[in-house]
Structure 1
């Protein structure tokens, strides 16, 4: 299965990368106060409490050449060879990771991509003529389906480092990320509360309506992950109608009232006004001209922030769609007709809501997560950035 991304993380992108989720250099404004070196140290610390061998991968797009490939432990870039049909096996890009209680430092090059890690066995990557085939665990035939793994997404370029803890595709092996800046301070995100790993799965399984179907287990019965709800719908694990009640109520409300979207925090006078007419929500600008329209979305469009809620990288439809996506997932569109709603205390309060995202955020130590594609609306995402990065870190946390 060939994988592209549904999401655009951190900042609006000029183009989506093939690897998905990483940033392209074109999307980032230069704010660097000092020259960012070609590589920075990335320290992997294994606090998982597990005895499995850990494998680490640094996979992405080399920003100097625009080519896709992987980096070894020294930060040296290796382009992928040509792939085939059917897909051919990719070269082994794994780095032997640290044992429990130990750390390993590798060099992170200027990439837009992902740092994968797996427990117990290596991941399987394949190549087509179009590029890399990445794990797609919503597909039961994916060779990585029964492997415990996870990943972080990052971009390191001349403007600095952006690195996240992501749950956009799944919630799985717990980890946190960090960056140490030139001023000596360290920013981290992604740690769960004590008991948060088990708490997440318990909370999801306790929800009615099929949410427990997102949980996937290994042949021995151990928990591997919970699929994000969009992937759950794709896999038939979650009913496609799971958000219909809320979507219908939103549609009814804005048939007779107006939804105001102010998509840019630094442009408070830029407002768009949404009103439903039949199966379409039309948005007008301050002059009354229709600037874009959205067909009534389904749950998959809401969870994936795509299809009927597509968000192109422009200055009108994309920003409005991002705001709608956040409002639908957080179920704030009925309680606040001025969006985006930045008050997290009102998120996920409707009986029909994104229970997966709710559980993820509730179990995060700092409350931040990337539980859906545009969880960065209002700055609720699990992302750290520094324009003069000295070190990066990934910490594998306990499964408690």
Structure 2
């Protein structure tokens, strides 16, 4: 994931991290139960990597949840310490502990991941880069934040759809919730759906030389690597810009503030948003497919009270193709999503095969709460379940 995309996604996670009523303090570490239901025979390796919230330092945690800061990097990057934790065998479970981090929980099959340290810190795997040392490794990751306000843990497809898994949390009251499970046959249904979708979408599926399907790239990475045409969303984007040259797009960005509305009209090729007083508060150039899929560049979303929330809403509307049929945004009804022939078919297929319909198929899939995220302010235990490849 690019730094911009990572920041956007982390921002979407941290928007939930608001203070909650006083309760028993969240401990420094909590148990994470990793269950291997994959049916695969290869060894599994697990990694807990991120930023230690107490110190702000980047590093990794061992199986006991103990933080280890990364040593200095280099140019060119140098090998990072081995942060791998042996995972459970097929049909088995293993419990480790995760600390108060904002970071990722990686897991890989068959081979350990290759992490390197540059002068600016850890070099994360770049799934879209064929020359990345991790390109031919079957792996995936979850993102989490554990802090004094609780746990936020997701399953994400923002960068790729790959080794299936689900996440869960045992709440303070003892109940358990989970998300991220595919329907029976859902893994192959997503891949076959991409292969059958005309217009270059089949090129997102990446296969190893031995025939193993490694992943399907997100469409943003597909555009960036040239396998998905840069014009793949142009037909829809052009129609949106034409529509709102003569009509008004009304955005109510905060569900708990229904009186806060902004009004968008296209003039001179630019969509200008005005507030209730008629003053222009921000403007957007007509985006391209990369901006839409990545929710960045021409749809940049700063962490502010106006442009960021508007950009998030536009991003969701473009990816879900709801902007033409509903001038009142955000449209949060899943029944209205992905109905236009020009849409984010990657997101459409993934959501369609999720058992609960929830996914993080693009950075701001949390608009309207359609994201695959579990949260609790007093978590007893977290769960990571490696699911079957079927």
| Smaller-chain TM-score bracket | over 0.9
Q: Does 1:29 align with 2:28?
A: no
**What are the Cα deviations for residues 279-332 of structure 1, in whole angstroms up to 9, with x where unaligned?**
210000000000000000000000000000000000000000000000000000
Where do 1:1-400 residues align within 5 Å? 3-7=2-6, 12=11, 23=14, 28-31=17-20, 33-400=23-390
Q: Work out the CA distance in 2 between the residues paired with 1:128 and 1:228.
A: 26
Counterpart contact for 1:6–1:373, Cα < 8 Å: yes
**What are the Cα deviations for residues 7-57 of structure 1, in whole angstroms up to 9, with x where unaligned?**
5577846xxxxxxxx74xx97222152210111000000000000000000
Flag the 1:57–1:12 CA change in 2: closer, same or farther, 3 A: closer
For residue 100 of structure 1, report the CA deviation from its aligned partner: 0.2
Flag the 1:98–1:5 CA change in 2: closer, same or farther, 3 A: farther
5+ residue gaps, structure 2, are none
- Partner SS state of residue 6, structure 1: helix
Counterpart contact for 1:8–1:374, Cα < 8 Å: no
Using structure 1 for the length normalisation, give the TM-score. 0.95
Counterpart contact for 1:196–1:363, Cα < 8 Å: yes
**What are the Cα deviations for residues 253-294 of structure 1, in whole angstroms up to 9, with x where unaligned?**
000000000000000000000000122100000000000000
- Partner SS state of residue 313, structure 2: helix
Q: Work out the CA distance in 2 between the residues paired with 1:198 and 1:189.
A: 19
Q: Work out the CA distance in 1 between the residues paired with 2:363 and 2:268.
A: 27
Q: Work out the CA distance in 1 between the residues paired with 2:286 and 2:383.
A: 42
Counterpart contact for 2:52–2:100, Cα < 8 Å: yes
Counterpart contact for 1:12–1:27, Cα < 8 Å: no
Flag the 1:6–1:220 CA change in 2: closer, same or farther, 3 A: same
**What are the Cα deviations for residues 108-152 of structure 1, in whole angstroms up to 9, with x where unaligned?**
100000000000000001011111000001011000000000000
Q: Work out the CA distance in 2 between the residues paired with 1:122 and 1:172.
A: 16
**What are the Cα deviations for residues 162-214 of structure 1, in whole angstroms up to 9, with x where unaligned?**
00000000000000000001101001000000000001001111110000000
5+ residue gaps, structure 1, are 14-21
- Partner SS state of residue 345, structure 1: helix
**What are the Cα deviations for residues 220-261 of structure 1, in whole angstroms up to 9, with x where unaligned?**
122110000001111111101000000000000000000000
How much is the aligned-residue C-alpha RMSD, in angstroms?
Answer: 1.3
Q: Which runs of 4+ in 1 moved over 6 A?
A: none
Q: Work out the CA distance in 2 between the residues paired with 1:10 and 1:212.
A: 25
Counterpart contact for 1:10–1:376, Cα < 8 Å: no
Counterpart contact for 1:10–1:383, Cα < 8 Å: no
- Partner SS state of residue 255, structure 1: coil
Q: Work out the CA distance in 2 between the residues paired with 1:12 and 1:241.
A: 28
Q: Work out the CA distance in 1 between the residues paired with 2:34 and 2:18.
A: 29
For residue 5 of structure 1, report the CA deviation from its aligned partner: 4.1
Aligned length: 389
- Partner SS state of residue 380, structure 1: coil
- Partner SS state of residue 389, structure 1: coil
Flag the 1:11–1:149 CA change in 2: closer, same or farther, 3 A: closer
Using structure 2 for the length normalisation, give the TM-score. 0.98
